[in-house]
Amino acid sequence: MKRKTNKNLILGGLLVGIMLCMIAVGFFWTPYDPEAMDSADKLAGVSFSHLMGCDNFGRDIFSRVLKGSGTTLFVAVGTVLIGAFFGMLIGAFTGYFGGIADEILMRVNDVLFAFPSILLALVFISLLGSGTYNVIIALGIAFIPSFARIVRSEFIRCRDMDYIKSARLMGAGSLRIMFVHILPNTVPVLLSAVMIGFNNAVLAEAGMSYLGIGVQPPDASLGRMLSEAQTYLFSAPGYALFPGITLILLVLGFSMLAEGIREQNQSGQG
């Protein structure tokens, strides 16, 4: 059968690539200082000097979107790293060894998994206090169960396969089997999960910053900009629309990439 071109993978990769380039540019250079206020330009409309207009303090929205998406991505990366690392460890040990510890951990995991992750993060925020790094920790912990679940089922699938048995016969230790033999085989599934994780992390960060418990002012964050923009929705709709659309493009890119990777895995197996 002719191999279908994987539209999701290409489009998603392109979208994420463009967004990453913009964020990288915003890291080193923005048209204006994202925190510089200019009272003459309060709520200015779209123009050549201000591509997306200005906010209620006369700050350039385009510069703030660039910086803000960087903050959002930074939180997302941190979150996914924490979630994936600890989720992988827990999933690997429970999946490989099984037993009572597995039973208990998975019971707890089931409950946490069913619990909406943003609420879980809110619990940790109320314990830790707000701020960028606390949001990363809180969301990261909230993301552990979903990664643990995925890695665990992959380990259970692999642990009795022939190549593992032969590795065991050759005298490889459990740790070596787990991390040198099984782990590389979970990468395709894990990669798709990481992309979905990015997708959810961006959404969750934006939600928490919107509620005012995430990134603190004057730092720019897409969610924070949206909550500030809401007051000026009628007089300056662009103030809300541009950060919102950026957010959508970012999420869309990651979700398409996840879908594309999943399709790629299936066609590889089929």
Partner 1 sequence: MMRYVAKKLAGLAATVLVVSFLVFAAFAVIPGDPATSMLGTQATPEKVEALREEMGLNDPLPKRFARWAVEFIQGDFGTSYSYQMPVSSMVGEKIPVTLALTLLAFLMMVAMSIPVGIFCARHAGGFLDRAITVLNQVIMAIPPFFSGILITLLFGLILHWFTPGGYISYTQDVWRFLGYMVFPAFAIALPKAAMAVKLLRSSVLSEMKLDYVRTAYSRGNRTKSVLYRHVLKNALIPVVTFLGMALADMVAGSIIIEQVFNIPGLGRILLTSISNRDYPVVQAIIVCIAFLVIFVNFAVDLIYKLVDPRITLD
Backbone angles phi, psi at 34, to 5 degrees: -65, -15
Q: How far is the CB of 245 from partner 1 (least distance, A)?
A: 9
Query: Residue 154 CA to chain centroid, in angstroms?
Result: 22
196 SS3 class: helix
6: left (phi over 0), alpha (psi -120 to 50) or beta: beta
Q: Cα(263)–Cα(240) distance, rounded to whole angstroms?
A: 34
Give 88 or 222: the residue with its C-beta nearer to partner 1: 222
What does the alpha-carbon distance between residue 82 and residue 4 come to, in Å, rounded to a whole number?
35
- Whichever of 63 and 200 has its CB closer to partner 1, that residue is 200
Q: Among residues 36 and 127, whose Cβ is nearest to partner 1?
A: 127
Instruction: Give the shortest CB-23-to-partner 1 separation in angstroms.
Output: 17
Chain residues binding partner 1 by CB under 8 A are 107-108, 111, 114-116, 118-119, 122-123, 125-127, 130, 199, 203, 206-207, 210-213, 223, 226-227, 229-230, 233-234, 237, 240, 244, 247-249, 251-252, 255-256
Name residue, tokens 């951990």: 105
Q: Give the residue with the Cβ less far from partner 1, 174 or 230.
A: 230
- In the chain, DSSP assigns E strands to none
CB of 6 to partner 1, least distance (A): 14
Nearer to partner 1, 182 or 205 (CB): 205
Please say which residue, 111 or 161, places its beta carbon nearer to partner 1.
Answer: 111
Minimum distance, C-beta of residue 122 to partner 1, in the bound complex (Å): 7
The encoded tokens of residue 162 equal 């022939």
Q: Work out how close the CB of 47 gets to partner 1 at its nearest, in angstroms, rounded to a whole number.
A: 22
In the bound complex, what is the minimum distance in angstroms from residue 114's beta carbon to partner 1? 5
Q: At what angle do helices 183-210 and 222-229 cross, to 10 degrees?
A: 20
CB of residue 161 to partner 1, shortest distance in Å: 25
Q: Are 118 and 112 in contact (CB under 8 A)?
A: no
Sorted by sequence, the CB contacts under 8 Å of residue 185 that are 6+ apart come out as: 154, 158
Shorter beta-carbon distance to partner 1: residue 32 or 210: 210
240, 10 Cβ separation under 8 angstroms: no
